Structure 1
Amino acid sequence: MKKTIYVHIGFHKTATSFLQRCIYPNMQSVRYVKYGKLKQELYDLRLKKLSDEHVKQIREKVLKFYKKKPLLISYEGLSGSPFSQKRSKNNIRVLEDIRRVFPEEEFDVHIIVGIREQVNLLASLYVQYVHQGGVKKPEDHLRDLENQGILDHYHYDYYLGKVEELFGSDHYHLLIYEQFKSETDKHMLDLLRYMGEEEIPPYENEQVNRSYGTMQVALGRRVNYLFKTPLHPKGLIPVNPSPIKGRFSPRKVLQSKWSFKLHYKRYHLPEKLEEYIKAQYVESNRNLQKKYHLELPDIYF
């Protein structure tokens, strides 16, 4: 009998972290394997060119957690790296390697995909870039992503076509972030029932860190020039960009309560940049809606 594996691949900024923190650990129908238990294996899947032997080693590590219940693995990095592509694979290669790790003759693999309208997704990812020490203006940052092929990740019609090709048309669940946000329990229950869970487990959703607003992005990007981080190695002051681990960092100050009390307005990309991004994906989104018989929110067009 085939072993059942659910793989939630993201995308980034589609409520994946919320599900990992609040919902998945409390499910009864599957065994959720937390990221830390497969950290190296997931890192390798995301970034490395895998030999057949390496694929076998990853499979064997995963199978150590398999008992009677299906396994659930959730890691948004499997949808592709949202920043530098210097060391990582594109998201199609990652899908192909997931199939290699879990061959069809032995595993019944189900892919969970969360999508989000691309302008808002890329705005949120730019804020994260600044969180982590980035110093480039949004136009320059997005140009880098385009040159590195990262913007190609978000042609969802092509990506879902590849999921169907590798895993089957009835072996994936699509979560549309905007619908999930507006009717959370309804769409969460749809997702959980896909994995055999009959009801939503009790949960508390506490926001860990509030995202930068317009003022915080502007200040953070400029202050980041002073600090040495992986995204800005030329900085003079070494700092851990995490607001939790670091004793001091721009992020820790700018995400403080007084910062948001002083001024908070949701961050948006510059208007011309939004128009440029929108134009890249409108046709892809129309194809997505038509091919998969979806009712996407108007902002996708």
Structure 2
Amino acid sequence: MNASVTLHIGLHKTGTASLQKLVFPRCESLRFLCTDTPEFVPFQRYAGFSDPIYFDPNKARTMIDSLLDTRRPNLISNEGFSGPLHAGELEFGLDHRDAVLRNLSAAFPEARVILTLRRQDRLARSFYRQYVRSGGTRRADRYFGYAKGTTAQPLVSRNRFRFLPYVRRVEELFPQGLLLLTHEAMVRDPVHYLGRMSDFLGVSLPDLPPRKLNLSRLGPFGMECTRIMNHFFRSYLNPAGILPGLPMRRNNRLELVSPVALIHDRWPRPYRGNDPGLSGRLAARILEEMREDNQRLDEEYDLNLKEYGYY
């Protein structure tokens, strides 16, 4: 099928969900696919979790070709294509982003890619907040691999914060085009950010409606309390938890939801202190380790990273 395909692959925590809910579906000139389309999910799982040795691009195209539109641009948006967020909890240090990119490139050799970066300290803190909210029980030093007295691998590979090799690999596998953006530019000037994306896609995207920033309202003490609570509640990150969670109605059906997720989402008073906590201090350390890589990235791609504090 001769269809124009663009892959929007994240990164995680760069406003992907807001774009998927508030922008892309409102553009009638675009054929938009994400996991909200049930028929797309089998392809997403096959491309995202298959070993490239056994991945069959013809099978993958058969799974998705019927969903594509030959009359307008197709945008496939899934931040999981930049690597599963909590893969290291399943296998210490697991990071198979290259495998996912190779699968996607084999299935869509003609595709172009949109990728949004985020400053590493803010990205790392957001990763850890999401980890705790989702049921994670490890301290931040163990999560990022800074814990003393242990030979265990980190739960999130710190290589995920080295952007330059990843960007080069994306560009190598998708020579038809890469649009590289930053989350900071999206926050500062969403009109310009979406304008660049519109030009790349060849459509006119609607404006991003005003929204609350997705910031944690819990300080270091609240983060530590909810991390300890996670030991007791069952989740996919802690299947050994004793308690199953609270029944909540979501999408017209009852689901068991951990109180920790509710606390993170609904805590009424924002944290107003200045203590970044252990996760904040380690996130700052990650940024320091990545400054040279960020400077080289900026020299190659001119992303205005110095103004945004990347180096």
Q: Does the TM-score normalized on the shorter chain lie above 0.5?
A: yes
Partner of 2:158: 151
Q: Secondary structure at the match of 1:96?
A: helix
Partner of 1:111: 113
Q: CA 1:263–1:234 in 2, change beyond 3 Å: closer, same or farther?
A: same
Which letter does structure 2 place at the counterpart of 1:10?
G
Tell me, in whole angstroms, the C-alpha distance in 1 between the residues paired with 2:289 and 2:15.
Answer: 24
Tell me, in whole angstroms, the C-alpha distance in 1 between the residues paired with 2:265 and 2:73.
Answer: 41
Which letter does structure 2 place at the counterpart of 1:260?
P
Partner of 1:282: 291
Q: CA 1:248–1:255 in 2, change beyond 3 Å: closer, same or farther?
A: same
Tell me, in whole angstroms, the C-alpha distance in 1 between the residues paired with 2:195 and 2:124.
Answer: 27
Q: Which moved more, 1:217-226 or 1:87-96?
A: 87-96
1:115-194 aligned at under 5 Å gives the runs 115-143=117-145, 147=154, 150-168=157-175, 171-194=177-200
8 Å CA contact 2:134, 2:235 repeated in 1? yes
What is the number of residues matched between the two proteins? Answer: 294
Partner of 1:260: 268
Q: CA 1:38–1:239 in 2, change beyond 3 Å: closer, same or farther?
A: same
Partner of 2:15: 15
Q: Which moved more, 1:266-275 or 1:172-181?
A: 266-275
Q: Which moved more, 1:116-125 or 1:149-158?
A: 149-158
Partner of 2:66: 64
Partner of 2:77: 74
8 Å CA contact 2:182, 2:303 repeated in 1? no
CA deviations 1:13-56 (Å, max 9, x no partner) are 00110000001111133200131331122122222214566322
Displacement after TM superposition at 1:203 (Å): 5.7
Which letter does structure 1 place at the counterpart of 2:263?
L
Q: CA 1:124–1:203 in 2, change beyond 3 Å: closer, same or farther?
A: closer
Higher helix share: 1
Tell me, in whole angstroms, the C-alpha distance in 1 between the residues paired with 2:203 and 2:137.
Answer: 44
Which letter does structure 2 place at the counterpart of 1:163?
V
Partner of 2:34: 34
- The answer to whether 1:213 aligns with 2:215 is no
Which letter does structure 2 place at the counterpart of 1:102?
F
| Identity level (%) | 23
Which letter does structure 1 place at the counterpart of 2:164?
D
Displacement after TM superposition at 1:275 (Å): 3.9
Tell me, in whole angstroms, the C-alpha distance in 2 between the residues paired with 1:279 and 1:210.
Answer: 22
Displacement after TM superposition at 1:280 (Å): 2.3
8 Å CA contact 1:131, 1:241 repeated in 2? no
Displacement after TM superposition at 1:281 (Å): 0.9
Selected match of 1:227 from 205, 230, 233: 233
Tell me, in whole angstroms, the C-alpha distance in 1 between the residues paired with 2:55 and 2:135.
Answer: 37
CA RMSD between the two structures: 2.9
8 Å CA contact 2:191, 2:207 repeated in 1? no
CA deviations 1:39-88 (Å, max 9, x no partner) are 12212222221456632221112210123222110000000122224467
Partner of 1:291: 300
Q: CA 1:155–1:218 in 2, change beyond 3 Å: closer, same or farther?
A: same
CA deviations 1:71-113 (Å, max 9, x no partner) are 110000000122224467611221111111113xxx3x11000
Gaps of 5+ in 2: 147-151
TM-score, L = length of structure 1: 0.86
Tell me, in whole angstroms, the C-alpha distance in 2 between the residues paired with 1:293 and 1:235.
Answer: 47
Tell me, in whole angstroms, the C-alpha distance in 2 between the residues paired with 1:183 and 1:13.
Answer: 17
Tell me, in whole angstroms, the C-alpha distance in 2 between the residues paired with 1:192 and 1:266.
Answer: 39
TM-score, L = length of structure 2: 0.83
Q: Secondary structure at the match of 2:87?
A: coil
8 Å CA contact 1:46, 1:89 repeated in 2? no
Displacement after TM superposition at 1:154 (Å): 2.4
